Amino acid sequence: MRISKPPYTSNILAGCLALSLCFLTSIAAQAKLGEPLKAFKARTAKLYKPTQDMPGTDGKSMNHIFEMIVTDKKAAISPGYAVGVTITTVNDKIVGQSMAIRSGATASIGTSLAAQDAYEFAIDAAGKPKPAKKEDALRELQSFTEQVNRAYLGQTQYIRYPNVKAQIILSFDRMGNLLVAVTPI
């Protein structure tokens, strides 16, 4: 069995361009574990549009599904780029959330965009503060992107940060979408 490199590793310049654009257009605050759903909806009304609500299989939870409004810049550099978010609540409090990202037509750039959006989503949802220094933030994003690359190769990644009471899980589905889940631990 031959394992090929992910398509986005072959074009470093495209990835760097995408990441620099992402820093200008990264997604804002996500849902925080334990907060009311209303707070998330109020804070992100310009970023997400609700698409559907579905009862959870346990009979207690509710899944609220949203579609991220993709910026014109992201749509132009990777046509077909799309992001969906599912927020799970119990008694209107957020108990879990996940994100699915389709990288779009330009795999190298779309995957870089996906890594940035997944990073923003995951650390904010987990309640992890971003590093204060830009160099440290870039190093942390690079490490996260490497874990996205491993997930792309079929190795599910479980990420935990010190003093953060949440776990981040990265994987890819059969369609090539990046899946990100944030759950309390």
Quick: pLDDT tens for 123-180.
988 889 999 999 999 999 999 999 999 998 899 999 999 999 999 999 999 888 999 9
pTM reported for the whole predicted model:
0.80
- In a domain, residue 42? The reply is yes
pLDDT, position 12: 38
In sequence order, the 6+-apart residues with CB closer than 8 A to the CB of 21 are 73, 74, 77, 113
Q: How many domains does the chain have?
A: 1
- In a domain, residue 21? The reply is yes
Separation between Cα atoms, residue 65 and residue 76, nearest integer Å:
25
Structural domain including 46 reads 7-184
Quick: pLDDT tens for 58-95.
999 999 999 999 999 989 999 999 999 999 999 999 99
- In a domain, residue 1? The reply is no
Cα four-point dihedral sign 17, 148, 78, 28: negative
